Chain A
């Protein structure tokens, strides 16, 4: 290292004298480092946001709800108004424990599905938002800090409720429906009108654990109004605040021991869960950022190879003077490390600018409020990785420098870049893979996985670069159709195939990531919407609070109305199978499995037997209006389908399943069902096989039970578990029909397009970070292209000079470069977008939806144009001066 000073001086002089080349190389490093800094800052911002408002997210030190969600799913627990509520006895137990432990409590009724719609806004009327509703005690709620309104400004939540039919809504709900303070609104579960008394910030309830509130908003009602809202005044959640400095884990253990069957979430739990989420996001993001840096790293390889090849004679001279190969390697390594240091410092500056842009983007899609600040640890990570990757990637080309033979000085014009030899190259590549693998392993917390992952990625990259190499060789041989410019462009592409292939890979990675994200984000909601409409058989779903009563009113708004193509009413009843062919002892025919199904830790819960499950399943009865217009009978495997002649008759269609097989049920058998004590006997007229499940069509759906019966064959006065009406309405009349339906008290029609909105919002969340990474990768790809073009023009300066000497104008030289790199951009775009399109099409293989509807061709066009644009701008930036140089300068000094 005694020559270090010489190495540094030498490197700095080379870098400054070849300023243009150095600038592009530095930009390659900077682009990768900026990506790391920006992404790490984002992950730390998200981490801060997740760690910052734990009490708010948990609504207190402890959040208590009831266990037993699983039991609901098999119908063992009675469900009231769509939620699980505490019994008065259980509440009393909790309350006495709280008093004994000096813990404050407030109870909240949530998830009661109370919709809020404006009365006087035709556009939105009838299109309820999927909001979260909370029936609270305004005097106490919440514990974790004051909630003050945006409008009227600064007024606390407790002062907003006047004792009447009041509602306080979130800002996003108010904005989406253009609701102002003082407006009258219609709310679900009642025909009475409510007045909006205040608008509060969305992030009070909206966070990562309550995304629906972030997307669609929420509403607060006073628990004094629960009777008006037809909700049992029994809470579904109890929030608790312990004495200052209390140990929440100990409180949780104490409550759990005294009152069994509770689901208790402490702030510690939320903090730990959020920390896990933050850690996963952090690792994911940094590894993604590393990908951008690795793309930048290929730029360093390109640059160092060109640096070495252009200084072959100089290296040979140094060797004749007695400089050793290892010293030459060190000399160039020092140069690449200096580039790493300077590039990383530039990258930090660029990263700060990126961070700000990403923060603005993330704030709009992340469901929780984010705070912006600069993170020194993000800058440090970026710097460290930038220098390491540059040193590691710069190492391979330095091996070739060491292999330059001193005899080159004798024939300087025949100097060409030597190869480092198989063994040194192999060992060098192995070293690079291990080094990068260790860096990646350090980031993800597992060194071995990191090394193996990078090794696999390297093999894959080599294969892909190899394929691209072949592709470029083929493209280079394509006919030029008599165009000399095209011929030169095609031949130029083939000059440095390995470099062109790796550049192409960088561009493809960026374009592919972006295309998959944008195409999927665009296509998935569209596909789901089409599938919803196809599978459900309509584009409007209508729910009523008291279906049996509202059925005729809903029908009146659909029957023979303009724009209504067809409709059907569908329901599901939870009945109990009491006899098969009159035999009430049928259960003994079901073979019991060896072990009862566990009770999933539910204290006091009964173990569920296979027999219980079979009987429960066979008690599920779907209904359909077989007399509705355009009703299409279902396909059956045996017997006959239900049709209009079955209206009002006790006939049933059975879905064949292991449960029906367990009893050996077949066409002609009778089953007696008890609907809340009212018994009815049905005859099985047809059986659908499991294969027929997919043949749902527009108006014959009723796949909501093992059995399907005509809607009017169910005993009168029995309430269904759920019932809704589905209608297909043409777009022109959609709003009018929705408004008319929503005028029926207690009826809520949903436009199925709502699901599209929901999915779109969810996808926005999930694709936000990958989108940022894709854009940053694409940026890195663009910088690589600029670097490659710059290096290519540097190498072809002499050729450019000759061309100009024999009569080619500077503009045409530039045109050729633009053509050549435009072709690279086009190929990169076609491959990147092509893979994205294929991936998206895979989603729709089974959907029978035409490709034209699945893929957004506008986006495909934009992405292709983007790929071209990136190549062209990068070319113009880096080749402009080379093309305008005087030929004598080039011919004399090259």
Chain B
């Protein structure tokens, strides 16, 4: 349990303890993450920064249940995902986590609205009407006039906004973004960033962004710095 700046109690959405990740390489072992213990709270906007090879993306993958940790625990909404079966982990990813990738990763054969509908349609117990919810989200993100466009018919910024809408489809408590503006021009990057900010503000979704772009890091409330698989710094961003 922790407290925010106004002294109110804040609940952890994501908690890691002594998280390590080793990978075999050329007969030896590379220690990608070395004992990461981190709490991310409800409604927070957190940036994870660090130099190339520091383990940022690996940490994000572990937090999203995309990969298995070597040791340690990861709790999302109180559920230790390191102990879950693949089937249950799939459900957790569907209900609790939204992903935004650097290269958008939209399904090329589906339209914008179909892409956004996917997580709801995949859900074991859908909480929304897939099409209605997808339309609402796309309109919220300013994509109401591009509902039936395929990814190839959208600009990079537009594709990323569709990807954010898709990440929010099941109203997950946690949104994980890996270099969300890394493949965009400055203008599009700004739009995407402001979209993430407004999402966090209006929906209360916790947003975790992995980046090495200082401008993006500056837009976060808190920044965690990783070096060589260890947290070397964690603190609130001071707006200048």
Contacts and interface: CB of A to CB of B under 8 A. Distances in A.
Nearest to B183: A413
A804 interface: yes
Contacts of A801: 105
Interface in A793-824: 798-799, 801-812
Contacts of A806: 93-94, 98-99, 118-119, 122, 166-167
A801 B99 CA distance: 12
A31 to B, nearest CB: 30
Contacts of B93: 804-807
Interface in A485-532: 487-488, 491-492, 494-495
B110 A807 contact: no
B94 A807 contact: yes
B66 A805 contact: yes
B91 A886 contact: no
B64 interface: yes
Contacts of A799: 105, 107-108
Nearest to A799: B107
A891 B107 CA distance: 14
Nearest to A808: B122
Given A806-B99, A806-B122, A888 B61 contact: yes
A891 B122 contact: no
A798 B122 CA distance: 18
A492 B61 contact: no
Contacts of B170: 807
Contacts of B86: 809-810
B110 A808 contact: no
Contacts of B147: none
Contacts of B57: 892
Contact of B87 (A484, A495, A802, A809): A809
Contacts of B90: 804, 807-810
Contacts of B105: 798-799, 801-802, 805, 891
A488 B108 CA distance: 11
A484 B103 contact: no
Contacts of B213: none
B114 interface: yes
B121 A484 contact: yes
A765 to B, nearest CB: 50
A892 B61 contact: yes
B123 interface: yes
A544 interface: no
Contacts of B107: 488, 491, 799, 802-803
Contacts of B99: 802, 805-806
Among A491, A492, A806, A887, chain B packs the most CB atoms within 10 A around the CB of A806
Interface string A866-894: 00000000000000000000111101100
B122 A487 contact: no
B8 interface: no
Interface in B178-232: 183
B44 interface: no
Nearest to A884: B86
Interface string B75-114: 0000000000011001101110011010101011110001
Contacts of A492: 109
Nearest to B93: A807
Interface residues of A, number: 28
Contacts of B68: 886
Interface residues of B, number: 33
B94 to A, nearest CB: 2
Main secondary structure of the interface of A (DSSP, over half): helix
B67 interface: yes
Contacts of A802: 99, 101, 105, 107
Contacts of B98: 806
A803 B109 CA distance: 13
A887 B94 CA distance: 13
Contacts of B183: 413
Given A488-B107, A494-B109, A891-B101, A805 B166 contact: no
B147 to A, nearest CB: 16
B114 A487 contact: yes
A495 B152 CA distance: 13
Given A413-B103, A798-B105, A799-B107, A886 B66 contact: yes
B119 A807 contact: yes
Nearest to A482: B121
B50 to A, nearest CB: 16
Contacts of B61: 888, 891-892
B134 to A, nearest CB: 12
Nearest to B106: A802
Interface string A659-696: 00000000000000000000000000000000000000
Contacts of A805: 64, 66, 93, 99, 105
Interface in A250-272: none
A888 B57 CA distance: 10
Contacts of A810: 86, 90
Contacts of A891: 61, 66, 101, 105
A812 to B, nearest CB: 8
Contacts of A804: 66, 90, 93
A807 B95 CA distance: 8
Nearest to B114: A487
B92 to A, nearest CB: 8
B145 to A, nearest CB: 22
A867 B166 CA distance: 37
A811 B61 CA distance: 21
Given A413-B183, A495-B109, A484 B64 contact: no
Nearest to B57: A892
Contacts of B67: 886-889
Contacts of A809: 86-87, 90
Contacts of B66: 804-805, 886-888, 891
B91 A807 contact: yes
Contacts of B123: 807
Interface in A644-661: none
Nearest to B105: A802
A496 to B, nearest CB: 11
A888 B87 CA distance: 16
Nearest to A807: B94
Interface in B45-81: 57, 61, 64, 66-68
A801 B66 CA distance: 9
B177 to A, nearest CB: 12
Contacts of B166: 806
A812 B86 CA distance: 12
Among B64, B109, B167, chain A packs the most CB atoms within 10 A around the CB of B109
A886 B64 CA distance: 12
Contacts of A812: 122
Contacts of A494: 109
B118 A484 contact: yes
Contacts of B103: 413
A821 to B, nearest CB: 15
Nearest to A495: B109
A808 B123 CA distance: 8
B173 to A, nearest CB: 14
A484 B66 CA distance: 23
A817 to B, nearest CB: 14
Contacts of B101: 802, 891
A792 to B, nearest CB: 12
Nearest to B130: A484
A872 B163 CA distance: 32
A807 B166 CA distance: 12
Given A803-B122, A808-B90, A891-B61, 5 more contacts: A484-B118, A805-B105, A808-B122, A810-B90, A892-B61
Which 7 A-B residue pairings sit nearest by Cβ, starting from the closest? A807-B94, A491-B109, A888-B67, A484-B121, A888-B66, A888-B61, A802-B105
5 contacts: A484-B117, A803-B118, A808-B122, A888-B61, A892-B61
Interface of B: 57, 61, 64, 66-68, 86-87, 90-91, 93-95, 98-99, 101, 103, 105, 107-110, 114, 117-119, 121-123, 166-167, 170, 183
